[in-house]
Each structure stands twice: as structure tokens, then as C-alpha cells.
């Protein structure tokens, strides 16, 4: 039986490198389509990784795209000329143009996950949103790309837990491992072009999570303490971190925990007020429903007892919610 083993990889993030480095496949990855560091910075790619040197050291031919969208004529021509059989997409965060997809013998396969499974939860930042929403499970799907947004047919699915201590970073670890497992489990069927895919349930109205930007990580001290703790975990490294202001100084917060739901006598302090600073620099913030212990942060401001955090004139972005109170909404 013919093997369709001219395999390419699309990616530009640290998760892309991890997958390239750790995939155990009987067929080599021959091509990497990626972007250079200037485009990584221009498009604010969270956790961007320059993969060129690494990939070349593994014998992988690298093409750095002119446009991140791959719609430049040179990009279309060069990628189609590679005569790709199969492509894996991880850490790309852009659609693959239909002309490129049509040029592949077997197709392009990527992952998209959500806490409810497709077609619910298409769109952007589903892992971040799953933590913000307090979800308990996440489904990673290996699906065949079509020109739409996460609308392709599904080949295989892996479910994992969203734990109470999971962060944006650990969710990326889990999701990458899930993708590794799904590719390895299905590679023989893919290169043989002998596999089944399943259309997403067209009886269910698709929903989409909105894009998140760094400014959307502004803390809302009017939220209750558990929501604040989840929010901080959801946007921590490798993203920019939750932030607030003291005076005109920005404070980025990367790690915090619910200290207690009792107030220890600080119930008169307004939410967003520092009520205690410990010898190691960690501090307690009075919140609705309890106290938040902040343990990893970055600022040039002097944080002292009585400090009051604020928005420094920035408006909090209000995302629409669906009828259940979650952030994935129909188009």
C-alpha cells in the first residue's frame, strides 16, 4: 500500500517545538512552515518560539512565511510546491488558506479543544476561557482542516481534566501531550490515507469564544475572590499575566490563591485593598468573599498595607455571555 509520508508541520510557538521534539513517528517531519521573530512580535504571538535553527538541526527544511495569513502569492506558491501529503498544525493560530489545503494529498490536521466539545467552543483561547469559567474537563480534537473556523471533521478526541491548580501554562502542557498522543495513535492510518472522520453535529448551533488580547487581562476587583483566582491562573505565563495599578504603576500578577473566605478582621477594607504584607513580600488583598494571597508579581511600585488597586482609567472589557452565563456565543 502506498504511503503518503511527505509530512509538514505548521507552528511558531514553544508548544510547536515541544511537539516537534517529542513526537515518536515512524515517518519524519520533512518541512516546517513558520514565521520569523519580527512577525511573532508584530502579531503578539504568546509564547512565540523561533524554530528555524532547531528545525534545521533536525534535518527539517524550513519555510518562513512572508505573511502570517499565508495569503501572499509567494507563500501560496512555495508551500504548494512542497507537494505536501499530510500537515500537522500546532501553535499556528491562523486559518490555513483553502488553496493550500486543496494542494495536500491527505490533508492538514490540527487540534482544537473546548470544555464542551465541538461544535461548542470554537474560536480563540479556549483553554484560557475554560479556567476563567471554572470548567472541569477539556476535550482535545484531532480534526481535518477546512477553510472555516474549527469547523472541520473530527478524526479522534482525547479528554483531560481541568484541575483546581491548572494554569494557562499547565493547560498548554496537557493539550500538547494530548495532541502528541492523538497524532501517534493515528499516524499509520493517516499515511495510508485509510481513516474515518466524523462531521461535527449539525443539529447543534456552533458557539465561538472571542479573542483575548493583553489589555483584557485587567483585573476587576468587583469580582468575588474565586473568580479572581481563576482569572489570574488563566492569563499567567506564558501569557502577559493579570494586571492592575497602584498609583500610575502597573502591577502584573502571575500567581495567587484564595487565602481564606474569612476576613480576619479586615472586613471594613474595600475590595482591592492590600490588608497585610508579609516579610517575604507576599501580600493579602481584601476581595468580595475572602482574602487573596498574591505570591508572584512584578512591579516597581512599593506595595504597603492600605495600598488600593485601581484601573488607572482603563475600561474593563465586558465580553458577551450566552444564556448559561458562559463566554462562547453563537455567531
User: Is residue 304 in some structural domain?
Assistant: no
Last residue of some domain: 175, 193, 209? Answer: 209
Q: Could you tell me where the beta strands, DSSP code E, fall in the chain?
A: 7-10, 29-34, 61-64, 86-89, 107-114, 122-123, 137-144, 154-161, 208-209, 242-246, 249-260, 273-277, 283-287, 290-298
For residue range 22-34, list pLDDT tens digits in order.
999 999 999 999 9
Number of domains in the chain: 2
What's the whole-number average pLDDT of the chain? 94
Are residues 290 and 232 both part of a single domain?
Answer: yes
Q: Report d(CA 250, CA 40) in Å as an integer.
A: 24
Burial (0-12, 13-18, 19+ Cβ within 10 Å), 11: buried
- Alpha carbon of 90 to those of 20, 124, 172, 248, 249: distances in Å? 9, 14, 11, 39, 36
Are residues 151 and 14 both part of a single domain?
Answer: yes
User: Is residue 327 in some structural domain?
Assistant: no
pTM (global) more than 0.85: yes
Lowest mean pLDDT among 91-100, 124-133, 172-181, 293-302: 91-100
Q: Report d(CA 100, CA 271) in Å as an integer.
A: 52
Are residues 254 and 193 both part of a single domain?
Answer: no
For residue range 217-227, list pLDDT tens digits in order.
999 999 999 99
Q: Report d(CA 62, CA 52) in Å as an integer.
A: 6
Are residues 23 and 141 both part of a single domain?
Answer: yes
**Containing domain of residue 63, as a range?**
7-209
Instruction: Report the CATH number at residue 156.
Output: 3.40.50.170
What is the pLDDT at residue 322? 95
Confidence of residue 148 (pLDDT cuts 50, 70, 90): confident
Indicate if the alpha-carbon torsion angle 252, 171, 116, 179 is positive or negative. Answer: positive
Residue 144: CB atoms within 10 Å: 17
Are residues 95 and 125 both part of a single domain?
Answer: yes
Are residues 205 and 252 both part of a single domain?
Answer: no
Are residues 218 and 199 both part of a single domain?
Answer: no
User: Is residue 308 in some structural domain?
Assistant: no
For residue range 212-268, list pLDDT tens digits in order.
999 999 999 999 999 999 999 999 998 999 999 999 999 999 999 999 999 999 999
Are residues 142 and 118 both part of a single domain?
Answer: yes
Tell whether the model's pLDDT for residue 46 goes beyond 90: no
Are residues 147 and 203 both part of a single domain?
Answer: yes
166-186 residues labelled b (16+ CB within 10 A) or e (exposed): bbbbbbbebbbbbbbebbeee
Tell whether the model's pLDDT for residue 44 goes beyond 90: no
Tell whether the model's pLDDT for residue 211 goes beyond 80: yes
Amino acid at each position: 500500500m502506498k504511503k503518503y509520508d511527505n509530512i509538514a508541520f505548521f507552528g511558531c510557538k514553544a508548544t510547536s517545538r515541544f511537539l516537534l521534539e517529542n513526537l515518536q513517528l515512524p515517518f519524519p517531519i520533512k518541512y516546517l512552515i513558520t514565521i520569523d521573530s519580527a512577525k511573532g512580535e508584530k502579531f503578539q504571538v504568546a509564547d512565540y518560539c523561533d524554530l528555524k535553527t532547531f528545525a534545521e538541526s533536525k534535518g527539517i527544511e524550513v519555510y518562513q512565511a512572508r505573511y502570517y495569513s499565508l495569503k501572499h502569492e509567494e507563500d501560496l506558491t512555495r508551500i504548494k510546491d512542497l507537494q505536501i501529503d499530510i500537515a500537522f498544525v500546532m501553535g499556528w493560530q491562523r486559518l490555513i488558506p483553502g488553496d493550500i489545503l486543496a494542494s495536500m494529498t491527505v490533508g492538514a490536521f490540527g487540534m482544537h479543544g473546548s470544555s464542551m466539545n465541538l461544535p461548542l467552543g470554537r474560536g480563540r483561547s479556549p483553554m484560557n476561557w475554560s479556567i476563567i469559567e471554572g470548567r472541569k474537563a477539556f476535550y482535545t480534537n484531532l480534526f481535518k482542516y477546512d477553510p472555516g473556523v474549527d469547523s472541520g471533521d473530527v478524526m479522534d478526541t482525547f479528554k483531560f481534566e481541568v484541575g483546581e491548580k491548572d494554569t494557562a501554562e499547565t493547560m498548554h502542557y496537557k493539550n500538547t501531550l494530548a495532541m502528541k498522543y492523538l497524532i501517534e495513535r493515528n499516524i499509520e492510518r493517516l499515511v495510508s490515507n485509510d481513516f474515518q472522520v466524523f462531521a461535527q453535529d449539525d443539529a447543534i448551533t456552533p458557539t465561538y469564544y472571542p479573542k483575548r488580547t493583553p489589555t483584557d487581562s485587567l483585573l476587576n476587583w468587583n469580582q468575588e475572590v474565586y473568580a479572581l483566582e481563576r482569572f489570574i491562573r488563566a492569563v499567567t505565563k506564558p501569557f502577559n499575566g493579570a494586571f492592575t495599578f497602584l498609583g500610575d504603576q502597573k502591577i502584573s500578577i502571575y500567581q495567587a490563591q484564595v487565602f481564606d473566605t474569612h476576613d480576619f478582621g479586615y472586613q471594613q477594607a474595600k475590595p482591592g485593598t492590600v490588608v497585610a504584607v508579609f516579610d517575604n513580600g507576599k501580600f493579602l488583598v481584601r476581595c468580595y468573599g475572602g482574602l487573596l494571597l498574591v505570591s508572584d508579581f512584578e512591579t516597581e511600585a512599593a506595595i504597603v498595607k492600605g495600598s488600593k488597586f485601581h484601573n488607572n482609567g482603563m475600561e474593563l472589557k465586558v465580553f458577551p455571555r450566552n444564556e448559561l452565563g458562559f463566554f462562547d456565543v453563537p455567531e
